[in-house]
Structure 1
Amino acid sequence: MRKILVVGAGQSGLQLALGLQSHGYEVTLMSNRTADEIRTGRVMSTQCMFHTALQHERDLGLNFWESQAPRIRGLGVSVSGPETEDLPGGGRGRVIDWGGMLDGYAQSVDQRVKMAGWTETFVQRGGQLVVHGAAVSDLDYFSRAYDLVLVSAGKGELVSMFDRDAARSPYSEPQRALSVAYVHGLGPRPEHPDFDAVRCNLVPGAGELFVIPTLTTSGRADILFWEGIPGGPLDVFSGVTDPSEHLALTLELMKRFTPWEYARATEVELTDAGGTLAGRYTPTVRHPIGRLPGGGAVLGVADVVVANDPVTGQGSNAASKCAASYLASILEHGDKEFDEAWMQGTFDRYWETARPITKWTNAMLGVPPEHVLNLIGAAGALQPVADRFANGFDDPADFEDYFFDPDRTQAYLTSVTGA
């Protein structure tokens, strides 16, 4: 029986460990926290998983919360106009506002719920769990006992084993300051009170607010997620440690920059004391093979090797797709050695999926060119355009056909209008 060590108990690490376990591999999972510590700790992320990523979980029988989590059937885009005194009480209106329908619903499950549950399932199914914050020296020791070591812990010392791929990493600094609050009590959007949708609110020159229906440890909730351009008016959460202060600041920004969202948030409260998160990181693609001091090699997984900004909501989706791709490569490899050529080929296979995600995400971090603004504006009057844009969150490769090139954008809009 082949022995595999998976370091890191996030979306990709656990999905891959459980997938390998189901195929008879002897899997050891290394996590820096127990399931209970994960469940009762601070929120770790935002997440909204679209159809393809959800299907990977279904294929492994891991969709434990599908009947409980909100079914997200649409994706809305609003663009804030300039501040004006013409509106009641001053503030901003929306110059663009539309909703696209998803072909298959999306869902969000608080990673505290999912990762704790999956960790317990892994142990119940006979997997060996090692609760230990791994260092490079630990992997140097453990690697001798395993046929393959997979590193899916995307933060800390282990990431330093994987060199930055400069050709695929255009940014050297964080492009957004991130702030998250999980809340109960958010009202529905009055224009669409009968179905759940992710709401993407763009504030030109400042950043974005995303509102995501989710399932958390205390039931149905919503995520209020600000992405602020560093140094701008939304970059104000550094040093804020009190959860109540964090929420108050979140709402203050909503009142000023997205008053249509603030109007349904006047009665919200935090889901729990651990329901806030703030930080920033640099989007980076890394080379997939990490080399250990003793000469061994390990393979990086998901955001260890492809870490995108969450502005396009691709983190958990990419992690699921990476785990599925790596699982297929491992199963197809049979009893052959997991050498460096195989590791590189396994990553290259996943990069075919990750490349369009990275290209689109990096484009969305910049100032949108005129043809993209025209496309987003046209979606307000052309439902097929809104729907196609929404479904691109599930399949970002589709943007290649109509998003990046002005001529392709115009040709697509002409094909829709018939003009």
Structure 2
Amino acid sequence: MRKILVVGAGQSGLQLALGLLSNGYEVTLMSNRTADEIRTGRVMSTQCMFHTALQHERDLQLNFWESQAPRIEGLGVSVAAPGSFDPGPSQRAIDWVGRLDGYAQSVDQRVKMAGWMETFAQRGGQLVIHGAAVSDLDYFSRAYDLVLVSAGKGELVSMFGRDAARSPYSEPQRALAVSYVHGLGPRPEHPEFDAVRCNLVPGVGELFVMPTLTTSGRADILFWEGVPGGPLDAFAGVKDPNEHLALTLDLMKTFTPWEHDRATKAELTDAGGVLAGRYAPTVRNPIGRLPGGGLVLGVADVVVANDPITGQGSNSASKCAAAYLASILEHGDREFDETFMQATFDRYWETARHVTKWTNAMLSPPPEHVLNLIGAAGQLQPAADRFANGFDNPADFENFFYEPEKTNAYLASLTGA
């Protein structure tokens, strides 16, 4: 029986560990927190998982909360009108919602990771509650056939060098601020189904609103992405959770009043329901070299960390875990050497490169043809639907998003022009 160590108990680490366990591997999982500490701690992320990522969970019988989590059937885009914060529709230059082919869902990672960690132990995995340093991995690399590092923060990440050719940004491109709330009302235009709402405020930043399942049931996530140094970059010194929410709502009232209108009764789900921070989007080399000569393979955010502006983090983590699982199973009893590690990452990069390209594009002011596409989606429902489904399959943006000629040809095909 082959012995594999997974360091880090997030979406990718747990999904991969549980997948390996179900295929007969002897798996040890290292986490720096217990399931109870995760469940009662602070929120770790925003997450909206689309059909492909959800299916990876279903394939491993890990979709424990599917019947409880809100079904997200659409994805809406609103663009604030320049300098217009008057009441009424004139606040928005663009406003539409695309329908998803397969529904999306969001489960607070405190709920999911705690539940999956308990499941891992129940299914016979070895769970070790201990933070891991590079010196620990040096020892463990000799005791295990393969060591996978899926802890996306801290000392371990420094083992994986930045891939400058694939990392155009060296600084954070957005200041991030998250609030989990109860009491948010429905969007009046489409009260009959749940949708993620992407509100774009040109030159200022973005507000994302998404339904979720949290420790206290159904909730919504309010997520500001602010251009650094701008009016949304205001959360750095805020320590009190209620002050964090009040600031979030004040900024909504100023920049996205149509969303603020349904947030007048919003209150935090719990004292741990806020998060703020920033990081530079980075692609890293996938193989870490230990002082004693051993090799470890980076997973998901460790090797490809994109800005959350396109909502791809947990989706990419799920897809990475699925790709790595397939590569490990196909490798059989051969040695997990450097060639294997590079090939395993390259297989995942075939998916991840589309996410990175699209996310980095969305961090820049949109060119004219993209503005035309987003505007046209308000009159052309197929364009709205295709854009929405790109969140599940970002590779499709190659066909109609990046190049003016392809965008114009696609829009012409819809209008018969």
TM-score exceeds 0.5: yes
TM-score (norm 2): 0.99
Q: Secondary structure at the match of 1:150?
A: strand
Instruction: Find 1:382's aligned residue among 374, 380, 385.
Output: 380
Alignment-mate amino acid for residue 46 of structure 1: T
Give yes or no for contact 1:43–1:274 (8 Å, CA) kept in 2.
yes
Q: Secondary structure at the match of 2:141?
A: helix
- Confirm or deny that 1:38 pairs with 2:38: yes
TM superposition shift of 1:82? 2.4
The match for 1:73 is 73
| Correspondence list, 1:252-291, <5 A | 252-291=250-289
Alignment-mate amino acid for residue 291 of structure 1: R
Give yes or no for contact 1:151–1:298 (8 Å, CA) kept in 2.
yes
Instruction: Find 1:182's aligned residue among 180, 183, 189.
Output: 180
User: 1 CA distance for matches of 2:107 and 2:90?
Assistant: 32
Q: Secondary structure at the match of 1:97?
A: strand
User: 1 CA distance for matches of 2:416 and 2:332?
Assistant: 52
The match for 1:26 is 26
Q: Secondary structure at the match of 2:411?
A: helix
Write out per-residue CA displacement over residues 276-330 of structure 1, whole angstroms, 9 at most, x where no aligned residue.
0000000000000000000000000001000000000000000000000000000
Alignment-mate amino acid for residue 65 of structure 2: W
- Confirm or deny that 1:344 pairs with 2:342: yes
TM superposition shift of 1:354? 0.2
Give yes or no for contact 1:92–1:259 (8 Å, CA) kept in 2.
no
| Correspondence list, 1:234-249, <5 A | 234-249=232-247
Tell me the C-alpha RMSD between the 2 structures: 1.0
Alignment-mate amino acid for residue 174 of structure 1: P
The match for 1:5 is 5
Q: Secondary structure at the match of 1:42?
A: coil
Give yes or no for contact 1:49–1:106 (8 Å, CA) kept in 2.
yes
| Correspondence list, 1:34-183, <5 A | 34-84=34-84, 87-88=86-87, 93-183=91-181
Give yes or no for contact 1:214–1:223 (8 Å, CA) kept in 2.
yes
User: 1 CA distance for matches of 2:169 and 2:143?
Assistant: 38
Q: Secondary structure at the match of 2:316?
A: helix
The match for 2:15 is 15
Write out per-residue CA displacement over residues 61-100 of structure 1, whole angstroms, 9 at most, x where no aligned residue.
0000000000000000000012347x24x99700000000
Give yes or no for contact 1:169–1:284 (8 Å, CA) kept in 2.
yes
| Correspondence list, 1:348-359, <5 A | 348-359=346-357
The match for 1:412 is 410
User: 2 CA distance for matches of 1:246 and 1:92?
Assistant: 29
User: 1 CA distance for matches of 2:236 and 2:89?
Assistant: 25
Instruction: Find 2:323's aligned residue among 314, 322, 325.
Output: 325
The match for 1:306 is 304
Alignment-mate amino acid for residue 194 of structure 2: D
Q: How many equivalent residue pairs?
A: 417
Q: Secondary structure at the match of 1:54?
A: helix
User: 1 CA distance for matches of 2:276 and 2:308?
Assistant: 13
Alignment-mate amino acid for residue 117 of structure 1: G
Alignment-mate amino acid for residue 208 of structure 1: E
User: 1 CA distance for matches of 2:84 and 2:354?
Assistant: 38
Write out per-residue CA displacement over residues 307-365 of structure 1, whole angstroms, 9 at most, x where no aligned residue.
00000000000000000000000000000000000000000000000000000000000
Alignment-mate amino acid for residue 298 of structure 1: V
TM superposition shift of 1:160? 0.1
Instruction: Find 1:292's aligned residue among 282, 287, 290.
Output: 290
Write out per-residue CA displacement over residues 361-390 of structure 1, whole angstroms, 9 at most, x where no aligned residue.
000000100000000000000000000000
Unmatched 5+ stretches in structure 1: none
Unmatched 5+ stretches in structure 2: none
Give yes or no for contact 1:92–1:257 (8 Å, CA) kept in 2.
no
User: 2 CA distance for matches of 1:207 and 1:4?
Assistant: 42
User: 1 CA distance for matches of 2:84 and 2:241?
Assistant: 31
Write out per-residue CA displacement over residues 237-264 of structure 1, whole angstroms, 9 at most, x where no aligned residue.
0011100000000000000000000000
Q: Secondary structure at the match of 1:183?
A: strand
The match for 2:248 is 250
TM-score (norm 1): 0.99
Write out per-residue CA displacement over residues 92-150 of structure 1, whole angstroms, 9 at most, x where no aligned residue.
70000000000000000000000000000000011111111100000001111000000
User: 1 CA distance for matches of 2:307 and 2:20?
Assistant: 29
Q: Secondary structure at the match of 1:145?
A: coil
Alignment-mate amino acid for residue 16 of structure 1: L
Give yes or no for contact 1:91–1:256 (8 Å, CA) kept in 2.
no
Q: Secondary structure at the match of 1:144?
A: coil
User: 2 CA distance for matches of 1:164 and 1:45?
Assistant: 23
Alignment-mate amino acid for residue 306 of structure 2: N
User: 2 CA distance for matches of 1:379 and 1:227?
Assistant: 23
User: 1 CA distance for matches of 2:35 and 2:61?
Assistant: 19
User: 1 CA distance for matches of 2:172 and 2:90?
Assistant: 27
User: 2 CA distance for matches of 1:32 and 1:241?
Assistant: 24
Write out per-residue CA displacement over residues 153-181 of structure 1, whole angstroms, 9 at most, x where no aligned residue.
00000000000000000000000000000
User: 2 CA distance for matches of 1:290 and 1:251?
Assistant: 43
Give yes or no for contact 1:83–1:92 (8 Å, CA) kept in 2.
no
Alignment-mate amino acid for residue 406 of structure 1: P
Give yes or no for contact 1:92–1:256 (8 Å, CA) kept in 2.
no
